[in-house]
Amino acid sequence: MPTIGELHEVYSNNPNGLLQTINSIYDRIEKEGLKPIWISIVPREKVLKRVEELLSISQDDRDAYPLFGIPFAVKDNIDVIDLKTTAACSSFADEKATKSAFVVCKLEEAGAIVIGKTNMDQFATGLVGIRSPFGICSSVFHKNFISGGSSSGSAVSVGNGLVTFALGTDTAGSGRVPAMFNNVIGMKPTRGLLSCSGVVPACRSVDCVSIFAETCKDASIILSVAHGYDENDPYSRQLSFCSSPWIISSKFRCGVPTKSTRQFFGDTENGELFEKVIKTVETELNGEIIEFDLTSFVKVANLLYKGPWVAERYASVGKFIDEHQSDIDPTVFSIISKSKSYSAVDVFNSMYEIEKLKKETKELWKNFDVMLVPTAPRTFTIDQIQQSPIELNTQLGFYTNFVNLLDLTAIALPAGLRQDHLPFGVTFISHSFTDQALLLLADRLHRCLSTFIGCSTTHLLSNTQKLSMKENDEQWNCFLIGVVGAHLSDLPLNYQLIERNARFVRKCRTHQEYRLYALSNTNPCKPGLIRVNGSQGSGIEIEIWAIPNEYLASFVNLISSPLTIGNILLDDGQSVKGFLVESSGIETAKDITHFGGWKAYLNASEG
């Protein structure tokens, strides 16, 4: 299926483009059948009425609908009006939903079109995609291999081009593992950024709605539309911005697990592919690779299924499965029913344990900005999972289970094909509310590693738009500051930036009217920059740094007279806040403009 941008271009150039797109989807579903991808679909007639409504919107007004005419699918634990929400258990849904989930409404208000509800591991319990009475979804690359779960149908619907994007849910990795096995983007947003109102919970305290898309740009558009505070969801959160100076820096710190703490459970090729990805991050994305011990994160991951958090699944659907055991997948029943054995004491002890582990992992995070891990250690055939359903499921969550418990954000992306033509994938992970920064980074890597979208022949680089970035975007929660003197890289006061987690962005020059002076009686020696109208020169060398907003006040407080902060015009016409000098400060100062910068002056003085 074409991306959002491609479809909008089709709709602009072809008056019948939207109608043809929707009819082609339904024609294909009628030919291929509902199972195993779909559990239910919106009737064609109803969707065609929706198309008529959208086509009545004038061309000039369509910009107000960023998802105009974009078809999408919804995992069947998320409500869609007039369809039953089964969570892959028919007897669970007595009535059709009387309204759509909050997030579905947001998407439809933006012009998107719901096609139907997708298959899943029953009650979102599993990472395999085989625990459903509606059939087993397989990888779009091979019918004998698992699609991953629990959001199996959603990932497959995007991977095989039935829809442009799909909603899933993610508790332990259900929005990421299926993304790897079907060669698509899996966006696990910050918890609470997308409302869970109208979603059947698995573990309510750590659940989130996830996004499957063909590109990071599409995922970014969908996320910007779908997020929103929902007062009816007790876990909904207002959009905030985590300081992310690393995304606009010339270099970022990328944490990768040490080889001794990586796990591929017997698969050798995925380990080799992961090494190649690490090299690509280092050479193509200018990432500084920092190895760390994954052990503390694995301990957190173990708590999700080997600790009392699994009892939260019983709180959600336990009574129902006890009363309807014959309708429940045996593995799902075993996992949820056994959770009754945990006591309140167990819960508190595990809460104490996870707080301890949070402190351990927080110390590790001081060393890197983002984490890069394989999305899953390996893949399995459907037969292998059926023979060992719990053990192999646990292996699949090795790199995913800790993310929501630690309130992290993650983007799973395709990372090339194996020799057996099955897809490999990796995941970028960082702090909550770094969603857009992670998407930017993931888009860059996706374009380095992948050729085609999903299992199609659509070329990623030539057919899709890359995700662009603005240095001064407020969502990076950073302040750009220009330095020309002692705060330059490797000079005496640069540490004041470094200790505040500031990052070097770029080197450039000021407008030609600026003059530079060596100030008197300063320790360490400092220059003063001042603009003189009509002055002619080649500009002064300046470095742009990004400093997190929370550290700005303490940094500015260090500045003493005659230096000040003001607007500096650059030679490219842009302006930046930076160090200037009061006019009184240059009365006894030496004009050193002809050196072109402070470092050149210092080098000449030493010589």
Catalytic choice (100, 150, 244, 430): 150
User: Would residue 150 show up in a list of annotated catalytic residues for this protein?
Assistant: yes
**495 membership: H or E segment, kind and range:** helix 495-498
**504 membership: H or E segment, kind and range:** strand 503-509
Which of 182, 256, 218 minimizes the C-alpha distance to 423? 182
Catalytic choice (147, 154, 157, 174): 174
Polymer length in residues for the chain: 607
CA distance 206 to 354: 13
CA distance 205 to 140: 32
The single-letter DSSP state of residue 191 is T
CA distance 97 to 83: 6
The single-letter DSSP state of residue 26 is H
Is residue 164 within 8 Å of residue 68, measured between CB atoms?
Answer: no
CA distance 41 to 63: 28
CA distance 362 to 62: 45
Which of 273, 476, 302, 269 minimizes the C-alpha distance to 372? 273
User: Would residue 520 show up in a list of annotated catalytic residues for this protein?
Assistant: no
- The residue behind tokens 């100030």 is 519
CA distance 349 to 176: 29
Is residue 191 within 8 Å of residue 404, measured between CB atoms?
Answer: yes
Collect all residues with Cβ–Cβ distance below 8 Å to 494 and sequence separation of at least 6: 486, 487, 488
Which residue type is seen at 425?
A: G
User: Would residue 507 show up in a list of annotated catalytic residues for this protein?
Assistant: no
Which of 296, 280, 462 minimizes the C-alpha distance to 372? 280
**218 membership: H or E segment, kind and range:** helix 216-226
The single-letter DSSP state of residue 139 is E
Q: Which two tokens stand for residue 63?
A: 């910009």
Start-to-end Cα distance in the chain: 64
Q: Annotated active-site positions, please? A: 75, 150, 174
